[in-house]
Amino acid sequence: MSIEFVRSKRLAPTLDLAPLIDVVFQLLIFFMLSASFARPVMPLALPHAGSGEQTSSTTPLVISAAANGHIWFNDEPVMLEALRDRLAAAAALRPDQPVRFEGDGAVPYQLFLRVTEIARECGIIRLDLAFEPEVDAASP
């Protein structure tokens, strides 16, 4: 007489990936949101001026130019050719949209002229210049 032993099948150990995927998605969402709120830093030393006026409360498009010639359009680095395309698209949507030029005090004048020429060709009606107000030495 022979006795047969019944062996139960061993289940292979498995790793539940659902919690890991949840954590990865939460990290992805966190970094996407934090990156959208952080403005890229481009150090500019704006020129000083004694007179000027505050612009309207509408949010302007911003063109920033660094002393080394790099140009940014609304916090994104662009080349002059791409700047033309983006300004033309913005002017087509809203021709009265103000555009603010934030240029470092050491920006080459030729670059400033090129940017203003591109803005004029794209139909931008209003180009504001950003500056730092002069500090009056007599005031406390």
Which tokens hold the place of 46? 């704006």
Which class is 60-133 in CATH? alpha beta
Domain range list for the chain: 60-133
Judge contact between 65 and 25, C-beta under 8 A: no
In this structure, are residues 40 and 75 in contact, taking their beta carbons and an 8 Å threshold? Answer: yes
How large a percentage of the chain has pLDDT more than 70? 78
Q: What is the pLDDT of residues 15-48, one digit of tens each?
A: 889 999 999 999 999 988 877 665 556 666 666 6
> Side-chain half-sphere of 35: how many Cα atoms within 13 Å?
7
- Is residue 98 within 8 A of residue 30, CB to CB? The reply is no
